[in-house]
């Protein structure tokens, strides 16, 4: 068995865990490879290009926060991905550093369960195809003087056109990411829906809308000038020009996240969003 390891190289704790993990793997005769950036930070010669890791590795390990796991998932090609959380607010990285060894034992033995998560697929007019686990985001950019209008079509029928700072199309997984910060609803995992969330809309009547994930969404920006960032999972992929159409739909490919059997979704929400009320002593 061979593991691909992605590390948040800006966190000392993640680098420390990576060293401990590779020592454990070598002691158990388990092969591994880092992505190039992680290997360089750790001064390790065992690395492969990100695009080659899914071909040679059986599972992926992300040491960091949700961003590190998202990066790993982009290259996992349906291989199991386990997230060890050394960040702060992590919805996807379900295992704590103390739980890493149990997670690894389960991975090696094959005794684990999977959360299968849908992805989004964005197609550009050029034919370029991009995928994301959380969301597709189009923002107003900095070049346009006037707030642009975002035109949205559902299955080629006009949904609306409104002025805003941007638009987010999120999966149920991504509903607790940027969409939540922009006022979107929390959607339970495995719900067969997407949510379209406006970012700071000009009109108060513009609200997030939840749609079936079998819909095709087309978004374009109505503006006289400017360039508009297209982001996939928060990473800018392209600058769109006025009128350029981005087509978004459910990807035929999915992500397999290794589940922490000691936790459930409700517990994660309570912990991450501070929904659990503790009564003071004596009340």
The reply to whether 278 falls in a domain is no
Does the reported pTM lie above 0.85? yes
- Domain tally, the chain: 2
Residues 186 and 201 in one domain: yes
**Rounded mean pLDDT of the chain?**
92
Residue 82 has pLDDT above 80, yes or no: yes
Q: Give the per-residue pLDDT at 143.
A: 58
What's the CA gap between 175 and 188, in Å, rounded?
9
Calculate mean pLDDT across residues 74-82.
93
Q: Give the per-residue pLDDT at 278.
A: 60
Residues 233 and 123 in one domain: yes
The reply to whether 76 falls in a domain is yes
Beta strands in the chain (DSSP E): 2-7, 31-34, 59-64, 80-85, 114-123, 129-132, 135-139, 149-154, 157-163, 166-170, 193-199, 209-212, 217-222, 228-232, 235-240, 246-258
Q: Give the per-residue pLDDT at 189.
A: 86
Residues 127 and 227 in one domain: yes
Q: Give the per-residue pLDDT at 165.
A: 95
Residues 74 and 163 in one domain: no
The reply to whether 151 falls in a domain is yes
Residues 102 and 185 in one domain: no
Q: Contact at 8 Å (CB) between 85 and 94? A: yes
Q: What is the pLDDT of residues 33-47, one digit of tens each?
A: 999 999 999 999 999
Residues 264 and 160 in one domain: no
Q: Give the per-residue pLDDT at 33.
A: 98
Calculate mean pLDDT across residues 271-276.
81
CATH number at residue 239: 2.60.200.30
Pairing of strands 149-154, 135-139: unpaired
Residues 65 and 96 in one domain: yes
User: What is the domain extent for residue 143?
Assistant: 119-252
Lowest mean pLDDT among 23-27, 31-35, 53-57, 92-96: 92-96
Residues 61 and 25 in one domain: yes
Catalytic residue positions, numbered? 66
The reply to whether 280 falls in a domain is no
Residues 204 and 246 in one domain: yes
State residue 64 phi and psi, 5-degree precision: 165, -140
Residue whose structure tokens are 């999966």: 171
CATH number at residue 68: 3.40.50.10330
Bridge partners of 123?
A: 129, 247
Bridge partners of 6?
A: 62
The reply to whether 283 falls in a domain is no
Residue 73 has pLDDT above 70, yes or no: yes
Q: Which residues are annotated as a binding site for NAD(+)?
A: 66-67, 134-135, 146, 163, 165, 176-181
Residues 61 and 85 in one domain: yes
Residues 142 and 236 in one domain: yes
Q: Which residues contact 165 (CB under 8 A, 6 or more apart)?
A: 139, 140, 147, 199, 200, 201
The reply to whether 238 falls in a domain is yes
* Nearest Cα residue to 259 out of 29, 32, 118, 99: 99
Residues 146 and 92 in one domain: no
């Amino acid at each position: 068995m061979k593991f691909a390891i992605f590390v948040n190289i800006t966190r000392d704790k993640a680098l420390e865990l990576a060293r401990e993990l590779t020592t454990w793997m070598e002691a158990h005769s388990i092969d591994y490879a880092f992505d190039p950036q992680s290997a360089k930070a750790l001064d390790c010669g065992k690395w492969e290009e990100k695009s080659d890791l899914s071909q040679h590795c059986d599972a992926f390990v992300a040491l960091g926060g949700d961003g590190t796991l998202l990066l790993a998932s982009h290259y996992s090609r349906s291989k199991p991905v386990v997230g060890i959380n050394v960040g702060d607010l992590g919805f996807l990285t379900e295992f704590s550093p103390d739980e890493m060894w149990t997670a690894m034992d389960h991975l090696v033995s094959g005794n684990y369960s999977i959360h299968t998560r849908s992805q989004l697929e964005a197609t550009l007019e050029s034919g370029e195809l991009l995928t994301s686990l959380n969301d597709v985001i189009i923002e107003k950019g900095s070049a346009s003087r006037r707030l642009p209008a975002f035109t949205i079509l559902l299955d080629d029928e006009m949904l609306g056109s409104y002025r805003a700072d941007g638009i987010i199309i999120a999966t149920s997984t991504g509903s607790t990411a940027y969409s939540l910060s922009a006022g979107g609803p929390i959607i339970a995992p495995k719900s067969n829906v997407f949510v379209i969330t406006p970012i700071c809309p000009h009109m108060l009547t513009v609200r997030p809308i939840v749609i079936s994930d079998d819909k095709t969404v087309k978004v374009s920006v109505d503006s006289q000038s400017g360039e508009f960032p297209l982001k996939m999972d928060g990473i800018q992929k392209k600058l769109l020009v006025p009128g350029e159409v981005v087509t978004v739909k459910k990807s035929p490919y999915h992500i397999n996240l290794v589940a922490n059997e000691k936790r459930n979704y409700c517990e994660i929400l309570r912990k991450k969003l501070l929904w659990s009320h503790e009564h003071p002593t004596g009340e």
